[in-house]
């Protein structure tokens, strides 16, 4: 008897076609790279459902299986424990069963299971046994996280020039943390590791755009195994895959990394969770001219203390302190590097929120300082002139992507900077704050609104963003008021709601109040005339549940006609009558009536506003002056943001098109269009 046999009997009892498949499985006794797998015979199933055969491995699905035999491996570097301590694990995510082995995709199943009969691979092009043995050992979480191997898909990787790289990408990579364990095989290598070899500085985790790379430097020849672990936010670390690494010869001048931080190099999930958002350097490696230095910019989501440290193979830490500094400007922190000697360094960035006792490492960069020994010249090439011109144009642009690209390209060129880069960075901050306010206003998301308002207020551009801040604060107040209306319903006792649902023949007031409620939620009136139809809507669950719909209700999305229909349903009654009928009826009446009343007040105020707009001056330049990046010139405004306009004219975008207003604003529609340049409805 076995799990496979039991599953087969259950399927056949349920009249589901099911077969038992014999073959080889890379299970607990498998060692990465070994070719002799005779001792790993196993059984699994295939079931025929929905017109096709699918795999099920009952044993692996129902039991936690030890993934590795110990063999002769010696652990030489462990990062898993340190990373596990930094992850907040959702207890519900820990499971001893695996859904992965129910109805597994054949393209994934073949990585671990090879049937005796090729047809049962269920692949268009079946693999040979040698191809199966060469495949990398990839575990279920690797596929669950939609990861893809970018390096050679082999379980055994040979070093090149004393180095080896394993690169992985995923659409979810920015929400993942990865780490590793490094092992050394004494028996197969033929010798022990020499004492004093810093094996804890041989592997670097490099965070790059859309991918993570494990870069291994071999300080001693031999046979190694790299186990890669990873997880998404809230999940425990899982083994993703294992690779056997073969180094026959090391490079004479190869050196370990200056230090090897647990969280790897480059901004990652921990950086973002700590409240730091990378603005200037998004990848793990920074190359720069040591004669010019460089600066790294982060935005802080809340008040914090920053600590920076430099590491080098030979230079004393006390001396390195002189080469790095940082300063805060509003909600940004600028880290300045002035390293006089070429070489490889590591920049460690730590932070501490005001309520925390100790600093935590939240980001690291691998630095390559070049000597920059170029022949001096007093001219710029056409391509360099173009880069400088783009940087100047970015000071007028409203496109943050264009501004960011202009900054990056200019900094990468190593051209002399006379302050334009900082001006462009200030410009970029302003545009991002402005966009954040506009987006949160349009989305009407309370959390996003409060966060964008807080960031804008704490910036040095708060006075220039005041119109948008005011609009956002009005939306916050409006959303909180709407939430308050829904609060009483959401806090209602379940028995009270059940009482309303169970009315067989309710009083007219109950039927009319619930009709008004569902009309406001978007239901058609003609489908609410029968009480049974109303009851059916009240019994729905999930996203369509009544409470969920009220919780997600957006009064601005309600059609004017529906509000008037709901008002007619409520007109014969008042709050006292509704409460006297039942507690539930009274609560729903208060919610629906407040929505109707607010709409009537808003409509009245809008009419008054439109009437008064006819008497306003045709010129609206005074309004646009509050935003130096609107399409008009800022006439008569003397402020610190004038620095962005190099020639005193803020009227042309990077493509040379004029942005000047054509004449005055003579009607309310023109006024609203003009105001949209400040971002209310852009």
Percentage of residues in the chain with pLDDT exceeding 90?
33
- What the block records as the tokens of 616 is 């306003």
Comma-separated ranges of CATH 1.20.920.60 domains in the chain: 492-612
Instruction: Determine contact, residues 362/271, Cβ cutoff 8 Å.
Output: yes
pLDDT at site 676 = 33
pLDDT digit string, tens, across residues 542-595: 778 888 888 778 777 788 889 999 999 999 999 899 988 888 888 889 888 888
pLDDT at site 604 = 62
Mean pLDDT of the chain: 80
* Chain centroid to CA 629: 29
pLDDT at site 634 = 32
pLDDT at site 318 = 85
Instruction: Determine contact, residues 657/498, Cβ cutoff 8 Å.
Output: no
Residue 382: φ, ψ to 5°: -55, -40
pLDDT at site 498 = 75
pLDDT digit string, tens, across residues 62-90: 875 555 544 577 888 777 666 655 555 44
Comma-separated ranges of CATH 2.60.40.10 domains in the chain: 269-370
Say how far apart CA 368 and CA 345 lie, in whole Å: 7
- Kindly report whether the global pTM for this prediction surpasses the value 0.85: no
Pinpoint the alpha helices (H) of 491-540.
Answer: 494-501, 508-520, 531-538
- What the block records as the tokens of 603 is 């409509």
- Mean per-residue pLDDT pooled into runs of 10, the chain (682 residues): 90 96 91 88 93 92 60 73 55 58 93 95 94 94 92 93 92 88 90 87 90 93 93 85 93 89 92 89 86 84 90 88 87 88 92 85 92 61 85 88 85 74 86 88 78 83 88 80 58 68 88 93 90 88 82 79 92 91 87 84 62 45 34 33 38 39 38 33 32
The closest alpha carbon to 328, from 371, 299, 362, belongs to: 299
Residue 337: φ, ψ to 5°: -115, 125
Cβ burial 603-635 (10 Å sphere, 16+ → b, else e): eeeeeeeeeeeeeeeeebbebbbbbbbbbbbbe
DSSP state of 329: E
Instruction: Determine contact, residues 73/183, Cβ cutoff 8 Å.
Output: yes
Count CB-CB contacts under 10 A for residue 168: 22
- CATH code of the region 269-370: 2.60.40.10
Radius of gyration of the chain (CA): 33
**CATH of 492-612 among 1.20.120.1760, 3.40.718.10, 1.20.1090.10, 1.20.920.60:** 1.20.920.60
For the chain, how far is it from start to end, CA to CA, in angstroms?
Answer: 68
pLDDT at site 548 = 81
pLDDT at site 26 = 92
Coil/strand/helix, residue 71: coil
The CA-based angle 107-109-115, given to 5 degrees, is 110
- What the block records as the tokens of 82 is 């340190």
């Amino acid at each position: 008897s076995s799990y496979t046999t039991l599953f087969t009997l259950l399927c056949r009892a349920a009249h589901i076609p099911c077969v038992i498949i014999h073959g080889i499985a890379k299970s607990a006794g498998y060692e990465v790279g070994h070719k002799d797998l005779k001792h790993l015979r196993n059984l699994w199933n295939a079931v025929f459902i929905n017109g096709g055969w699918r795999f099920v491995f009952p044993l692996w699905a129902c039991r936690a299986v030890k993934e590795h035999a110990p063999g002769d491996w010696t652990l030489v570097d462990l990062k898993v424990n340190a990373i596990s301590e930094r992850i907040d694990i959702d207890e519900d995510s820990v499971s001893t069963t695996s859904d992965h082995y129910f109805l597994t995709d054949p393209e994934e199943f073949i990585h671990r299971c090879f049937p005796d009969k090729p047809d049962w691979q269920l692949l268009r092009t079946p693999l040979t046994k040698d191809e199966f043995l060469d495949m990398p050992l990839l575990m279920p979480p690797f596929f669950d996280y939609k990861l893809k191997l970018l390096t050679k898909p082999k379980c055994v990787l040979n070093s090149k020039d004393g180095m080896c790289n394993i690169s992985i990408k995923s659409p979810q990579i920015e929400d993942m943390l990865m780490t590793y364990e490094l092992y050394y095989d004494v028996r197969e290598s033929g010798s022990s590791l020499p004492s004093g070899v810093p094996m804890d500085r041989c592997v670097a985790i490099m965070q790059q755009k859309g991918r993570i790379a494990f870069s291994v430097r071999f300080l001693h020849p031999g046979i190694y195994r790299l186990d890669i672990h990873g997880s998404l936010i809230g999940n425990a670390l899982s083994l993703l895959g294992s690779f056997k690494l073969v180094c026959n010869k090391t490079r004479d001048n190869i050196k370990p990394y200056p230090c090897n931080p647990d969280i790897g190099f480059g901004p990652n999930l921990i950086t973002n969770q700590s409240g730091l958002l990378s603005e200037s350097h998004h990848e793990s490696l920074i190359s720069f001219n040591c004669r010019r230095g460089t600066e790294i910019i982060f935005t802080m989501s809340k008040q914090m203390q920053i600590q920076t440290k430099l590491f080098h193979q030979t230079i004393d830490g006390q001396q390195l302190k002189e080469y790095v500094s940082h300063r805060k400007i509003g909600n940004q922190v600028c880290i300045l590097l002035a390293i006089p000697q070429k070489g490889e360094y590591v920049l460690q960035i730590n932070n501490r929120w005001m309520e925390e006792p100790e600093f935590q490492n939240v980001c690291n960069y691998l630095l390559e300082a070049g000597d920059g020994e170029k022949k001096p010249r007093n001219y710029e090439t056409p391509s360099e002139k173009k880069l400088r011109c783009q940087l100047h144009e970015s000071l007028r642009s409203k496109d943050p992507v264009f501004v960011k690209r202009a900054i990056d390209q200019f900094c990468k060129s190593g051209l002399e900077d006379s302050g334009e880069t900082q001006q462009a960075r200030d410009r970029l901050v302003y545009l991002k704050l402005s966009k954040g306010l506009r987006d949160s206003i349009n989305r009407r998301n309370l959390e996003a609104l409060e966060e964008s308002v807080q960031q804008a207020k704490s910036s040095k551009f708060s006075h220039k963003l005041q119109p948008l801040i005011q609009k956002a604060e009005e939306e916050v107040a409006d959303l909180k008021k709407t939430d308050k209306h829904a609060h009483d319903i959401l806090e209602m006792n379940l028995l009270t709601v059940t009482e309303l649902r169970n009315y067989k023949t309710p009083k007219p007031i109950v039927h009319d109040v619930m009709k008004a409620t569902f009309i406001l939620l978007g239901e058609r009136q003609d489908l609410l005339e029968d009480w049974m139809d109303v009851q059916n809507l009240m019994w729905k669950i999930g996203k369509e549940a009544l409470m969920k719909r009220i919780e997600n209700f957006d009064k601005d999305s309600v059609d004017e006609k529906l509000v008037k229909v709901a008002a007619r349903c409520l007109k014969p009654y008042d709050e006292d009558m509704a409460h006297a009928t039942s507690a539930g009826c009274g609560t729903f009446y208060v919610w629906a009536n407040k929505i109707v009343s607010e709409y009537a007040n808003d409509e009245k105020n809008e009419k008054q506003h439109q009437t008064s707009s006819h008497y306003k001056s045709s010129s609206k330049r005074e309004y646009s002056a509050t935003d130096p990046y609107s399409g008009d010139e800022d006439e008569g405004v003397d402020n610190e943001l004038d620095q962005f306009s190099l020639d005193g004219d803020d009227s042309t975008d990077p493509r040379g098109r004029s942005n000047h207003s054509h004449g005055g604003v003579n009607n309310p529609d023109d006024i609203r269009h003009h105001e949209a340049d400040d971002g209310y409805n852009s």
